[in-house]
Structure 1
Amino acid sequence: MAQDLTDVLEEWKCLEEEYQELRETHRMYLQKLDEISKLQNHCSSSISLQRKRLKELSHQAKKYSKGPSEEHSKNLEEMKEKIMMRPNAFFEMEAFLPQKNGLYLSLVLGNVNVTLLNKQSKFAYKDEYEKFKLCLTVILMLFSFICYFFVSYRFIDAILNFLLVWYYCTLTIRESILITNGSRIKGWWVVHHYISAFLSGVMLTWPDGNLYKTFRNQFLAYSFYQSFVQCLQYYYQSGCLYRLRTLGERHNMDLTVEGFQSWMWKGLTFLLPFLFFGHFWQLFSGLSLFRMAQLPECKDWQVLMCSLSFIILFMGNFFTTLAVVRQKLKSRNQKPKSL
């Protein structure tokens, strides 16, 4: 009995020593956190000051096409080149500093800091985003296929449309977090998901009736085709991005997108016919709905809203893809001349 009590007291003594070490470690941790916070604030303020001074300096440098001597001209050109490269350096630095949430994230999440402060966390979140997008795309493709061929209940259609609303709304939130953490997805491919979420929400509220049944199969076929093309894009884009990141030609936080970008030109031009076919399907759907909205028996506001959404999606997708192709062809034609 005495031996057991001695063992218990010895165990408590060891536990007490470990607790004191834990307290000291935690104290050091809090101290380092405070130091990190001060360093973050210092870096952010220094970057803001650098931007301001660079802007002023670049305005002054524009006044001089060349210096009074050859050495001054050379130094002036070097300075201008470095000024042009500096914003990219600031962008890389800010990717690891706390950022203020944009309007959308502030409305959804409030003032929560969503900046991930190390590369491992950023890559893990990006990979999880890619897996989420692929998994949901496959589910939506199968769901659309089942609804088109086997099930024709409005309740099941509503579940599909609700899933589409949730999917696109979740994408917009996750993409906003990724942009805050350094992903360079921008422009139309961000707006595309907001409009798609709105379109899916309108489809969800469209009451069952003759007009809905007339458009139903066309929408389900379009949803199936769109999901199929997105799976195709993910499979090839992820491989292409991995190769370009390895070569140092793409940023580590770049994402797969539902459209066509300049970095896809080598090896992925075969996707263009699939994309353009989907774009014109959007135009066809928009025009079909617009004609439907002109019918005397059409009393549903959803018809016109869906029509406008499809036409906006077509215009954004088509002209953005066309601009990328035109820019790439123009740059290819200019290369031989420069040589």
Structure 2
Amino acid sequence: MADSCLTGFAEEIDDLAKEYESMKELHKKYKDKLEEVQSMQKKCATLVGHQKKRYKQIAEGIKEKSPGLSGEEKAKCNELKTLVEDRKKNCIEVLDTLPRSNNFLLSTTLGPVSVSILSKKDRFAYKEEYERFKLYLSIIMLVGATINTFFIKNRICDACYHFLLVWFYCTLVIRESILRHNGSRIKGWWVVHHYLTVMLTAILLIWPDSVSYRMFRNQFMLFSLYLSVVQLIQYYYQSGCLYRLRALGEKSDMYITVEGFQNWMWRGLTFLLPFLFVAYTWQLYNAYSLYHIAKHPECNEWMVPVASVIFLCLFLGNMITTSGVILTKFKAMQSTSSSPKNKGS
């Protein structure tokens, strides 16, 4: 019986021999192609670097010579400027399909491993997974904040919730760095915002169970609860905006939702802004409350004034950035409506 089983296994192995040899041959071809692709990527990167350097020099030379040119020469100069700008844009498009070295944050957290996503399909899939991650964690944080606000008032449960916040924002910073590395347009204040939030949540995690903590605890839990609700509303609103704009071909697939108001979210403005401004005002109120708690005779923790300053920075950054976007968009709409073309139509 055992001999027949072994004979059967041997026959199966023999049957697989041809397929096994084909697999080895295909794998060898794959490794050769992979080495060839890596070699071509390095060559392309070198050529693009040389092209960008030369076009920069040419553009500077054209700029120096252009003031003293005649009419025909000036027209030729403008043509050359346009050609140089087009070539520079093409170089950037080529760079987008090549692996790039990691920035400082990615190098320190992930090391030299490449996080470049070369396929547009894979980039979009990673962005979609990032959006789902934010949605699921927002729901979990909403549940956690509700439990801590109304049902359980225990420092250990609070610490677990604060740890969740620290982990969420740290993960968000790394994921957004990977997205930005691969062409997402999030930048400026919203990047700084997450670094400040990581610092704030870490402070809340290590804050001892003192008089000052208990004075601020309920206010923060209510704030977290409201912020989780706003994040869910914001996710569905922003996702709807992006879906419509992408369907119309007006926005890139690598645009992502952020904790604030952006140019592409102008449609349905009155729906989202009140929620955002209430959250920003609450951040100011948190800063004000912590400032007064810091003056309490039983408050000896350094976390109180530092958290107050961070909340104030978050309020100012959010308010200034969002107001700036609204003002810029409003001016653009006014200039469009007052243009001669619109007046004549």
Using structure 2 for the length normalisation, give the TM-score: 0.91
Is 1:201 matched up with 2:202? yes
Distance (Å, rounded) in 1 between the aligned partners of 2:51 and 2:74: 23
Q: CA RMSD in A?
A: 2.3
User: What is the rounded CA distance, in whole Å, between the counterparts of 1:54 and 1:222 in structure 2?
Assistant: 52
Runs ≥4 residues deviating over 6 A: 3-10
Identity %: 47
- Aligned-residue offset at 1:11: 4.9
**SS in structure 2 at match of 1:257:** coil
- Shift in Å, 1:162: 0.5
1:220 corresponds to = 221
Residue 329 of structure 1 corresponds to 330
1:173 and 2:174 correspond:
yes
- Separation of aligned partners in 2, 1:193 and 1:35: 40
What are the equivalent positions in structure 2 for 1:105-254 lying under 5 Å apart? 105-254=106-255
The alpha-carbon distance between structure 1 residues 221 and 322, as it changes in their structure 2 partners (threshold 3 A), is same
The 1-side partners of 2:54 and 2:89 are apart by 16
Which one-letter code corresponds to 1:263 in the other structure? Answer: W
Contact 2:145 2:225 in 1 (8 A): yes
Return the letter of the residue paired with 2:189.
Answer: W
User: How does the TM-score come out when normalised to structure 1?
Assistant: 0.92
Q: How many residue pairs end up in the alignment?
A: 338
Mapped to 2, the partners of 1:88 and 1:249 lie a distance apart of: 19
List aligned pairs for 1:215-294, cutoff 5 A.
215-294=216-295
66, 70, 86: which one aligns with 1:68: 70
* Cross-structure match for 1:78: 79
Could you tell me how far apart the structure 2 residues matched to 1:5 and 1:215 are? 73
Q: Deviations over 1:239-288 (max 9, x none)?
A: 11122122222111110111111111123442112111111111111111
Distance 1:144 1:57, change over 3 A: same
Shift of 1:33: 0.5
Contact 1:179–1:185, Cα closer than 8 Å, also in 2 = yes
Alpha-carbon shift at residue 86 of structure 1 (Å): 5.0
8 Å CA contact 1:91–1:182 kept in 2: the answer is no
Q: Partner residue of 1:44?
A: 45
Are 1:303 and 2:304 counterparts?
yes
Unaligned runs of 5+ in 1: none
- Secondary structure at the aligned position of 1:62 is classed as helix
Distance in 1 between residues matched to 2:27 and 2:199, nearest whole Å: 48
Tell me the CA shift for residue 65 of structure 1.
4.8
Q: Is the 8 A contact 1:195 1:313 kept in 2?
A: yes
In terms of mean alpha carbon deviation, does 49-58 or 215-224 score higher?
49-58
* Contact 1:96-1:181 within 8 A present in 2 as well: no
Equivalent-residue separation in structure 2 for 1:135 and 1:66 (angstroms): 62
> What code does the residue aligned with 1:293 have?
A
1:155-176 Cα distance to aligned partner (Å, 9 max, x none): 1111110000000000011111
Which whole-Å CA distance do the structure 2 matches of 1:217 and 1:4 have between them?
70
- 1:148 CA drift (Å): 0.9
Matched, 1:28 2:26: no
Cα pair 2:215 2:293 within 8 Å, conserved:
no
Distance 1:311 1:4 in 2: 75
Q: Please state how far the C-alpha of 1:120 moved relative to its aligned partner.
A: 2.1
> What is the CA–CA distance in structure 2 between the aligned matches of 1:4 and 1:153, rounded to whole Å?
63
Q: SS at 2:134's partner residue?
A: helix
Q: Tell whether the 8 Å contact from 1:161 to 1:200 is kept in structure 2 after alignment.
A: yes
1:140 and 1:52 map into 2 onto residues whose CA distance is 48
| Pair 1:301–1:17, CA change in 2 (3 A) | same
CA 1:90–1:318: 2 relative to 1, 3 Å: farther
8 A contact 1:95–1:180 mirrored in 2:
no
Q: Distance in 2 between matches of 1:86 and 1:228?
A: 46
**By how many angstroms is 1:334 displaced?**
1.8
Query: Is the Cα–Cα contact under 8 Å of residues 193 and 314 in structure 2 kept in the other structure?
Result: yes
Q: 1:210 to 1:189 in 2, by over 3 A?
A: same
